[in-house]
């Protein structure tokens, strides 16, 4: 049996949250999506609030993954501990609130979702993500799952690509997040669907989801410039992975882009 998994790129600001709420239910119906993972770490510009997380879950995210801005909002810690449908990177400090992977029901059976963060130009308090993936994949409850899905939140193309070769043939899907620009390298590697970056969900006329002028001010040398999320028009970007539930392998991956 084949089933479709949709991975949605970093949701940015109110524009991204609102656009996802309007478009994701229809997109899931049209693409016959059995399971959906949304990266929401920028849902409140830098970080995510419980309210925004609840909105993403209400409108179609089965699981929310995060990244380097996980703890930017003061009121998120208890939510991360209490709600198993939101994940923070598994390889950050063990003293952090929340969990880094989970096992979830789907129409195809139990799926494991893993959230990892890169170390190159990223999170200084993180353990080696390659070793962390190995550790999780050895767990009996993970071995029993129909498929394993991985969000690797990382800065550099080289680290993401290296993780793809490290995970090749051992997970059903591995996608990169964080850099907000959808890449054109979607492929299947020995049963592992892969793309270097899903892209982003938010203002289409923006600099990585931020209002162009506020971002430009920083490049022009204004140290007091404060970033603000771009307004509409918006876009949603991601990828659909078709997975064989009998083998736990991906058979195809296709990028997705929805514009308003």
DSSP assignment of 39-75: E-TBTTSSS--HHHHHHHHHTT-SEEE--TTTTSSTT
SS3 sequence, 146-160? Answer: CEEEEEEECCCHHHH
Q: Which structure tokens are listed for 182?
A: 């959808």
Backbone angles phi, psi at 204, to 5 degrees: -70, -35
| Catalytic, out of 69, 153, 178, 180 | 69
Measured between alpha carbons, how far is 62 from 19 in angstroms, rounded to an integer? 17
Closest CA relative to residue 209, chosen from 41, 81, 95, 66: 41
Q: Look up 69 and say whether it is catalytic.
A: yes
Residue 45 — left, alpha, or beta (φ > 0 → left; ψ -120 to 50 → alpha)? left
Measured between alpha carbons, how far is 67 from 40 in angstroms, rounded to an integer? 8
The kind and range of the H/E element at 258 are strand 249-259
The kind and range of the H/E element at 233 are none
Which residues are marked as active site? Answer: 69
């Amino acid at each position: 049996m084949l089933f479709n998994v949709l991975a949605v790129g970093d949701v940015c600001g109110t524009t991204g949250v609102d656009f996802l709420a309007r478009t994701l239910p229809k997109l899931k119906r049209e693409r016959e999506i059995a399971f959906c993972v949304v990266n929401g770490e920028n849902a409140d510009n830098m970080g995510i609030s419980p309210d925004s997380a609840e909105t993403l879950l209400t409108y179609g995210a089965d699981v929310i993954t995060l990244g380097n801005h996980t703890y930017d909002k003061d009121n998120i810690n208890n939510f991360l501990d209490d709600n198993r449908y939101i994940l923070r990177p598994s390889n950050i400090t063990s003293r952090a609130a929340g969990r880094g992977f989970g096992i979830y029901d789907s129409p195809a059976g139990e799926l494991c979702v893993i959230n990892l963060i890169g170390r190159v130009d990223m999170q200084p308090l993180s353990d080696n993500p390659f070793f962390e993936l190995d550790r999780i994949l050895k767990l009996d409850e993970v071995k029993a799952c129909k498929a394993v899905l991985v969000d690797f939140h990382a800065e550099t193309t080289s680290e993401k690509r290296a993780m793809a070769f490290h995970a090749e043939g051992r997970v059903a899907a591995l996608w990169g997040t964080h850099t907000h620009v959808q890449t054109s390298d979607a492929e299947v590697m020995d049963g592992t669907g892969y793309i270097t970056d899903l892209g982003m969900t938010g203002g289409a006329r923006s600099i990585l989801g931020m209002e162009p002028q506020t971002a430009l001010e920083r490049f022009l040398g204004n140290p007091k410039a404060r970033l603000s999320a771009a307004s509409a028009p918006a876009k949603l970007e991601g990828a659909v992975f078709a997975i064989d539930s009998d083998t736990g392998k991906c058979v195809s991956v296709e990028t997705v882009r929805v514009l308003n």
